[in-house]
Amino acid sequence: MEEISADAIRNVKTEYVRAIIKKTPWERRSRIKDLVSLENFILNAWVVHSFAAAMRRHQIRSHSTGYRCIVEELAQRDWLPEERKAAIQGSYQAHLEGIQTREQEAIERDRKTRLSDEEALKAWLEAGGL
């Protein structure tokens, strides 16, 4: 596991991540590394420069509570330009809508599978199957 650097810890921008650092033992520092990475990805408009970074970005987006808390806190920061705040909030909203869309698609897929299975069972029984 790649370690988290001292600079990364010192340059944390949100109180949310600082509070988690205070509650987290050194042995669980990978959680802090994920939150620091999440914070940096949010601040840098999710831009990545390598395949590995893209994979990491995808992995850490699953920290839904952390993502929400960091976005909410950054939206309140005076040092962040209003345009950047709006972009961060828009990106988060798009993320939430994507989750909702995927959940609806999964529900619809399950419904279609269930109907298809029911139809296949009916045909099976009509054909004399047990």
**Per residue in 24-70, pLDDT tens?**
999 989 889 989 988 988 888 877 778 877 777 777 776 688 889 99
Give percent above pLDDT 90 in the chain: 58
Cα separation values, 9 from 3, 17, 46, 113, Å? 11, 9, 20, 48
**Per residue in 80-130, pLDDT tens?**
999 999 999 998 999 889 889 999 999 999 999 999 999 999 999 999 988
Answering whether pTM is above 0.85, one says no
61-67 LR contacts (CB < 8 Å, sep 24+)? 61/95, 63/34, 63/35, 63/38, 66/16, 66/17, 66/20, 66/34, 66/35, 66/38, 67/38, 67/42, 67/92, 67/95
